[in-house]
Amino acid sequence: MRARITAGVALAGWHNGRTGWWQHGNGGYGWVGPLFWPFAYFDIYDYAIWGSAARAPFWGYGYDDIYAGMFAPYDYDALAGYLPLRSSAGPRDDAPDRLAQLCGEDSREIAGLPIDLIQQAIEPTEAQRAALDELANASVAAAQKIKVACPTTMSLTAPGRLASMQQRIEAMIAAVTIVQPALDRFYSLLNDEQKARLNALAEDQRRRSLARSRDRSLAQGCDVAQVTALKWPSEEIDARLRPTETQRASLVALQNASAKAADMLTTSCQPDDAVTPPARLATAGKRLDTMLQAVKLVRAALDDFYATLSDEQKAQFEAIGPRRTASDQPDTRRHRRGREFFGN
């Protein structure tokens, strides 16, 4: 499913000469239509259970997604494809709702912790099996919490997109809060040999991931170089909006808030030294807390700036993202060399 959605987004990005400038360094996408972080819960528990083998999808999210929230990669026509098709006679029952599919409506299991695989590896006692069942139930409850935060409408404004982004991250933090106690309890019941077997599963997944990847950096994530590659479109904003002195002051505040958010997220990108599933889940929770702080910081400054704009200026601001062309893209060759230099 991830491959199909990624392919669809990549093709959509080529319309009218535009390219997928919002694509993550590891090949994923932060925004798919109106939805931020389409595989949110899967990325959390994949990283917690499998460690570095699944690090890239979770840690690939950061400032570039806030940037994409402000300067949307989708225009209205592209976004419309994520809502049910309608005819003059009314809604079509057979029309695919891509947004609902992204949020898990087409999946029988909303959460897929590898319970069977874990059981085979650790051969649990009765008490451990009960704790594993509790973890599975917590997993489902957490995934449902994230699913509820899925948008039901399209947001065509930058403030609306960041509001949706904030709601999504808050739901993810709530999901971690639900799972963490159950995971801690289950792991605490394991003896040293069982913990070694569980960690061996993660190591096996890491080897398979590297074997499938042409670029070893795909298993790392946390693409710090992307932050410096995204250029603030100051000249285009000036040309389109012709801001007043008051508006320019708010714009500078927004730029400063964005720069601070980028620094916060870069600093919070830690080496992959968490060696147990509970520790990795806790680390993921801390990263999400930082992302929430960064989004709130930028959102507050964006709301202040947006409130000073006329309707015409707002329309011009929203047109910046969808009309970006290939000439506006960051130097991907330099970006790739930077990843190799930093080992990410």
pLDDT tens for 19-71 read 567 778 777 788 888 899 988 988 998 889 888 767 888 998 999 899 999 99
Dihedral of CA 4/5/8/9: which sign?
Answer: negative
Entry pTM = 0.84
**Pseudo-torsion of CA 283, 286, 164, 139, nearest 10°?**
50
Instruction: Determine the structural domain holding residue 18 and report its residue range.
Output: 2-85+92-342
pLDDT band for 92, please (50, 70, 90 cuts).
Answer: very low
pLDDT in tens, 137-159: 999 899 889 988 888 888 889 99
For the chain, how many structural domains are there in total? Answer: 1
Burial profile 112-147: b = 16 or more Cβ within 10 angstroms, e = fewer: bbeeeebeebbebeeebbebbeebbebbbbbbbbbb
The rounded distance, in Å, linking the Cα atoms of 321 and 317 is: 8
217-245 per-position pLDDT tens digit: 434 556 555 555 577 888 999 999 999 99
- Beta strand spans in the chain (E): 31-32, 35-36, 86-87, 90-91
